[in-house]
Amino acid sequence: MQVSQFFDETLLNKYNASGPRYTSYPTALEFHDNFTHDDFIKAIQNSKNHELSLYVHIPFCHTLCYYCGCNKVITRHRDKADTYLEYLAEEISLQAPLFSDYTVKQLHWGGGTPSFLTHQQITKLVNLLKEKFTFSDELEMSIEIDPREIEMDLAEHLYSLGFNRLSLGVQDLDLKVQQAINRVQSTEFIGDFISHAKAVGFTSINIDLIYGLPHQTLETFAKTLLKAHEWDVDRISLFSYAHMPSLFAAQRKLRDEWLPSTQQKFALMKLAIETLCGFGYDFIGMDHFAKPNDELSKAQRNGTLHRNFQGYTTKGGCDLLGLGVSSISAIGDSFSQNIKELKAYYQAITDKQHAQIKGVALFDDDIIRGEVIRELMCNLYVDKQVINDKYNINFDNYFVDDLPLLETFIDDGLVENHAQYIKVEQKARLLIRNICMSFDAYMKKHINQQRFSRVI
Ligand code: SF4
């Protein structure tokens, strides 16, 4: 892959509009409260799937990172987690019987900070999940870790419980950047923890990095990238910092003058992609990097890469059940979400025996468009005949009002629209969200609203 082709600055500036990350179609903005728990149960009954991916949300964090846009609760009181885990256990016990004919292929703990939990709390939760659900022998079990508040022996503990993948929030290793975002952490400890986790047996370690943070320069970020290389991690997620202080109050602590300009941000992104590809990582989708022998890389090569609420994944065939406050599920032809506020979540579990607050039952049109968008996001390619055969449509007739929206990308040499297929050129990879928006029937409603982050 020729890396230089990703960076036509004129084109990137031309299309640097805000757009959804398409972890689902329709996006979560279309969820509504007319979707009830009965609809959720109907979706399970109608789903032909018997494989499940479980997502467990642990909302607590010790301190607030000022760039954060996640749903979290900042506290230093561990007993808050005890209370939460009681209600979560109740939710698990209520939901699990609905999935008795499913096998869990994937379990992911996210947050917040799952590593906020004590060893005992982690053990108890894993054991409960294993008791209530049927787990596959080839279970992929992953957890997000904040390296600031953990001890070295967390690695052994997680591994002994069956976790085989770790994801560490690193973001940036420069002290000035870390101080500005209120996330100071020890580079030495992270390196030691990664080595230790590998020695313990973890075969897949991911780190998250962010570009566009306050005070970041090419020089400082180059050092962060070099460390990632030295640590020899398997995957790297590279996110663009989306500064949306009107939506996320914590971001108001980050002064505009500290942030890189669009041009500087572009240079940081370019540096990161060039450096990581230079280190031998494959560029996956629009924001992930993986070693060539990693499953994500293999999935991209053989066209089976998938995308869900957790980003790019190899487990496309599974229904997804979200557990815990604010978590999202994708069951059969539906999406649904739990209540976002902690107290309301507790109340709902007590009063209603579930915490779902909204969702959406997909229309046939959503399913067809969702598949086209997913194919583009994952494979940069749509085989029109496959869509025609699967949904009994004529692609060009069905999308007669949408295809003209591709014209601008075609004129700029970014997309080819042939009778049999649509192909996105590699040089348009960073603009893939904007290209997908051409097939998004809900987009007109949201145009001119800053509901989504920008491409760069
Ligand atoms: S970035 Fe992660 S650790 Fe920091 S406040 Fe947000 S969820 Fe918590």
Q: Report which of 209, 192, 202 is spatially closest to residue 281, judged by C-alpha positions.
A: 209
Please tell me the CATH code under which domain 1-24+364-447 is placed. Answer: 1.10.10.920
Domain limits, the chain = 1-24+364-447, 27-320
Model confidence over 400-448: pLDDT tens digits?
999 999 999 999 999 999 999 999 998 899 999 999 999 999 987 766 5
Q: Which are the contacts of 111, defined by CB distance < 8 A and separation ≥ 6?
A: 57, 58, 59, 60, 61, 70, 72, 144
Mutational pocket test of ligand 1: of 146, 210, 327, the residue with most ligand atoms within 8 Å of the beta carbon = 146
The pLDDT, as a whole number, for residue 455 is 65
Q: What distance in Å separates the CA atoms of residue 205 and residue 168, rounded to the nearest whole number? A: 8
Retrieve residue 330's tokens. 């994708």
pLDDT of residue 25: 96
Given this model, what pLDDT does residue 443 score?
Answer: 87
Ligand 1 pocket: which residues have CB below 6 Å?
A: 61, 64-65, 68, 70, 72, 111-113, 146, 169
Per-residue model confidence as pLDDT tens digits over 174-233: 999 999 999 999 999 999 999 999 999 999 999 999 999 999 999 999 999 999 999 999
Q: What is the mean pLDDT of the chain?
A: 94
Report which of 441, 452, 447 is spatially closest to residue 363, judged by C-alpha positions.
441
More confident residue, 164 or 449: 164
Read off the pLDDT of residues 111-148 as tens digits, 9 standing for 90 and up: 999 999 999 999 999 999 999 999 999 999 999 999 99
Which atom of ligand 1 approaches the CA of 112 most closely? 7
Higher pLDDT, 3 or 345: 345
So what's the pLDDT on residue 450?
54
CATH class of the domain comprising 27-320: alpha beta
Q: How confident is the model at residue 149 (pLDDT cuts 50, 70, 90)?
A: confident
Alpha carbon of 377 to ligand 1 centroid (Å) = 26
Please give the DSSP secondary-structure letter assigned to residue 455: -
